[in-house]
Structure 1
Amino acid sequence: MTAPSDILPDAAPTNWVDRHAPAALRPWLKLGRFDRPAGIWLLMLPGWQGIALAAAIKGHWPDPLLLAEVLVGATLMRSAGCAYNDIVDREVDAKVARTAMRPIPSGQISVKQAWAFVAGCCALSLAILLTMPLIAIGLGVGSLALVGAYPFMKRITWWPQAWLGLTFNWGALLGYAAATGTLGWPPVLLYASGVFWTLGYDTIYAVQDLEDDALAGVKSSALRLGAAAPQAVLGFYVAAFVLALAAAWVGGLGPLFLPLAALFGVHLSRQAAALDVTDGAGALKLFQSNSLAGLILALALTAGLWKGPVDALTRL
């Protein structure tokens, strides 16, 4: 059995890595955050949303193979990004209670070994990327600049969560480009929506580390906003919702988009209403619920391919 102390604070006590993975593999799986899969969903879902938006505009279902490629690619790149982040942040992580037992600061994996892990994940991701149109390949390579800069943002700005939004939602552009070979205003608006969505949910996530971040001398939107964080998160989420509506409007999506989009908006507003900056455990649960929120938006975009009477009239 796994000792309770072996389970990282932001991982579920019943996570599959600690319950079922061989002991020798656990540090590597934790380096890639496989014990905390919410981040995989949050990186993958913008890509799925971009694919769904493209398919709805073209009037057909999303390509299952492309969805699978984005799932595998997002899993690999999230793992690589987490390992890279832990390499850069190893000294800061050692000072923060939530991160001190991660594989690198705890000495389970060396920096050299972690770099090899990053390289392996990136090589496999590149193999997937090369199957896509040229514009998608360019976007994929361009995302490395955002990924490379992210770990340093908490040292130079109060808004590293905004930079994470730019990084995590790049898949909306890449997914759309992979599906169509082009870009346009609909995916750009969807990308902007995702940036505000991430700014909201990662501000919620940062509530867990308010005291430790202050002691370690690193910055976050939660620290900057303080008691005003719930109101600010609501503002970020309103912007995300409005921009998602704009993406659907400009893309000419059908009316079935709206009921699920409304559910997406309600989900976000309830998060903001429930946020308590003194409750780190509650903030983690709210953050994790964003996997469902992102999936709802992806389904809403998919439903938008049905244009109902409009389709019938255009065929006459």
Structure 2
Amino acid sequence: MNFPVTRMRRLRRTEAIRSLVRETHLRPESLIYPLFICPGEGVRKEIGSMPGVFNLSVDEAVKEAHECAELGLGGLLLFGLPAEKDEQGTGAWASDGIVQTALRVFKSESKLKPLTMIADVCLCEYTSHGHCGIVARDGDHYEIENDSSIQLIAKAAASLAAAGADIVAPSDMMDGRIDAIRHALDEGGHAMTPIMSYASKFASAFYGPFREAADSAPAFGDRRSYQMDGANLREAMREIEQDVVEGADMILMKPAMPYLDVIRAARERVDLPLGAYQVSGEYSMLHAAFQRGWLEPERAMMESLLSIRRAGADFIVTYFAKDAGRVLG
């Protein structure tokens, strides 16, 4: 039927009707808040390029976690800033590592039980060179070794599971890491710990502010030999399929807004729970516009999250999680 019999605006006339027929919904429990944990006590250091986001000592991180729980958020994604770094990133699997310590404290707090504790698994924050694996050098030439790196990544995952992580989330993009992690978890008595794979993580300009937050910028070169080329959609689907075959329980796409087509393609291809990471550059870019009065903060924030959800993400990792949780609450 055509106009005037068909009038699409009939279902937009009031907020109550719009809410009734709304196709896509955001919920606080589908939002994951990243935390950057650093050594010390009473530390709350704001990250210059990420307004409202802080490097936090464990005691301050507990306060943030309680706020997240009160807002009804789904969980936390934990990153560590170790006191010391070395070539192999040994702090990533140390039993007294910064994230392992934080996990044990979080797990001792009964009011934090509703939060899912997700531990990022990578070496870049812990290595002196800032790469996500072992560096092999031959004069001026270097290569990030794959097979030796995944053994250390799997060791880190097992250590984080032993410390209490509900989910481990490898973000390194080494080949075969999911299989290696699954074996390490099972052999360590953590067969029920799920793996949330950063299955298609692109080599993106939008990670810049994160590298300030996590002090993880490479000391030389870049990560293009292991993170994905942003031009390749079909390759992203192959990466996802490989991780599923190796035993991934959940999939995480990164970045989000510049890669909504990848999220949609993945959603149509796999039945696993699928999330997207609204990364630091997306957050900082919007905040820059907010500070200049170019965008309405609440509307733009919620619209950005809704676009990710509409593309097919079941859950969203975002630095806006607390602000969005307040709006949704």
Structure with greater proportional helix content: 1
Shorter-chain TM-score: which interval? under 0.3
The TM-score with structure 2 as length reference comes to 0.26
Q: Normalized per residue, which structure has more strand?
A: 2
